[in-house]
Structure 1
Amino acid sequence: MKNFIYLFIAVSMFSCKDAKKETVVAPETTKTEEVVESNYPEALEKVFEAHGGLDQWKKMRFLEFSMQKNGVDEVTSTDLWNRKSLVETPDHKLGYDGKQVWLQNKGDAEYKGKPKFYYNLMSYFYAMPFILADDGIVYGDIEPLVFEGKTYPGIKVGYESGVGESPEDEYALYYNPDTYKMEWLGYTVTFFSQEKAKEWHFRKYSEWEEFNGLLLPKIIVRYEYENNLPTTVHSENNFFNVKLTKEQANQDIFEMPEDAQLVE
């Protein structure tokens, strides 16, 4: 009987010790999980949230959309994690396999454009505002944009040296002060000169559609500009047949076909 009592006391002390250990560890773990620092300006975080949240965007792996250009459908496919891309029209395929840009002519029609400038251009515009969470971005302040009597606060975006094809490019995201939805994108183009540009171009994000809980543009309107301000409508891009999924795309579609050419 004594042995049984001693055994019961020993087991009880051991169990209590374990229980006490668990109650100490749990609060520490919870406390650690709550400490999350953000590298984004507070206003930009609110913009992300207004469009469905950056966490939800990071779950997405594949993006595809179509738009009309020069009277034909142009289909853009992008792996959102490795940024491989494919732009296809009835006459051409323009791809990026993760290392190099290539161009395939399906017929005799000559490709009109700058492949290294264009291969990811529309996917970049379309993935706003989430694309502005990329690594290597530097955020700053910029004067609000005033257009037709309405004021849009802005966030200036630049790149660290050596990031991308045109690290001297600058962007400005302007948002609705009431809803925090993105309404304008200002940007400079340095690809051709490789020098810091002084002229600002503008695109207006006028309509949005929801895919997997995320708001993406239905229409992007390009504006003429003067004195670094938008003036009148230049043209617009309408997007359709949108696919946004968590599944990885078949990586073969980004590989260069045998009859394609590398773009230098």
Structure 2
Amino acid sequence: MKLILNFAILVFFLFVVSCKEAPKDLETENSQELLAASYAIPQKWIENRVAIAKENLNVTEAGKIVWKSMEAHGGLDTWYANGYVSFRFDYQPLDGSTRRNTYQVIDTWNNKAKHTAYADTTSSFGWDGKEAWVKAKDSTTFQYDTKFWALTPLYLAAYPFVLDGEGVQLELLKQKVYKGKLQDVVKITFDANVGDAPDDYYVLYFDVETHIISAIRYIVSYPEYFPNGGHSPEKIMEVTGQTVTNSILLPNGLKTYMLTENEEMGEYVTKIEISDVAFVPQVPDQFFSKPADAKLASEK
């Protein structure tokens, strides 16, 4: 814990210049001056993005459910205004396969990420928006696909906020009783040009009374894992606990089960712990960029 707190304090206090890439709709608004200054994302940009998301989501019944959930989890405007999100994500398969335990900082505006190994802060990997990179002592440090994993924790931990962009398709499914409570059910699919695994899908359960996410069903279709097509068996993650940080409600625990044919929980397969959640208003210049002594993930 001391190690993580020290790292977070370093990121928060040591630098005064943000590496925030100006959003595209700011490029004609003195973007060079903005890039040269110490600044948070302008409130106007946040207001515009939130307004567009609200308008687009409220066109359909499924979208209205997602928007209500965003509000219940703290609000999309607060999510973006808080800054970079950071947390420790400890993914523990119960079959003894590779554990993935990193502290990460994520640019929620541009989907960039930097992970630092929890057990060895000299080892890291990241995604700069275009390329995935790795800095490690040897090939045994990260024994998994770091490109795929760079943003995966965000998409497991930050629902519903990650559903505000383009290329996301929402489908309203039949309501379902989950653990004794009625749930609104929305299926998430992606356009062909979205991400490394556009054939993935997620099915989200929203408590009809609180609009808080209760569980997430999903498959993995990442081509590197399934070069001949297809996908993993469907699984379901239950939210086992939640914590409010800077007015944003995020899970602090997830338990993954195989999904049975009748869409019930089967074998318990993975434990996920999410801790040290914080929002960081600034990070060092080039924080998400490939370090000089790092390799591209494809070269490791």
Fold conserved between structures, TM > 0.5? yes
The alpha-carbon deviation at position 190 of structure 1 amounts to 0.7
The alpha-carbon distance between structure 1 residues 103 and 139, as it changes in their structure 2 partners (threshold 3 A), is: same
Answer yes or no: is the 8 Å Cα contact 2:111–2:129 preserved in 1.
yes
C-alpha deviation, 1:95, in angstroms: 0.9
Please say if 1:255 is aligned against 2:255.
no
User: Counterpart amino acid of 2:197?
Assistant: S
Is 1:39 the counterpart of 2:56? The answer is yes
TM-score by length of 1: 0.77
2:95 paired residue number: none
| Cα distance between partner residues in 2 of 1:158 and 1:36 | 17
1:211 corresponds to: 245
**Closer/same/farther in 2, CA of residues 35 and 118 from structure 1, 3 Å limit:** closer
Higher strand share: 1
Alignment of 1:93 onto 2:128: no
Match of 1:66, as an amino acid? R
- Specify the code of the residue in structure 1 equivalent to 2:157: Y
Aligned to 2:164: 133
* Alignment length (residue pairs): 230
* Residue 153 (structure 1) aligned with residue 184 (structure 2): yes
Distance in 1 separating the partners of 2:191 and 2:90: 34
What's the CA shift string for 1:32-55, capped at 9, x where partnerless? Answer: xx9996211211111111111122
Deviation readout 1:54-102 (Å, 9 max, x if unpaired) = 2222223201111445689520111111211111111731111121001
Q: Point out the structure with max Rg over C-alpha.
A: 1
1:78 pairs with one of 106, 116, 127: 106
Superposition RMSD in Å:
2.7
Aligned equivalents of 2:287, 2:53: Cα separation in 1: 38
Higher normalized contact order (CA 8 Å, seq sep 6+, divided by chain length)? 2
Partner of 1:117: 148
Does residue 1:244 correspond to 2:250, yes or no? no
Matching of residues 21-36 of structure 1 within 5 Å: none
Q: 5+ unaligned residues in a row in structure 1: which ranges?
A: 1-33
Which of these residues, 227, 235, 260, is aligned with residue 270 of structure 2?
235
Gaps of at least 5 residues in structure 2 are 1-50, 58-62, 93-98
Same amino acid, percent of matched pairs: 24
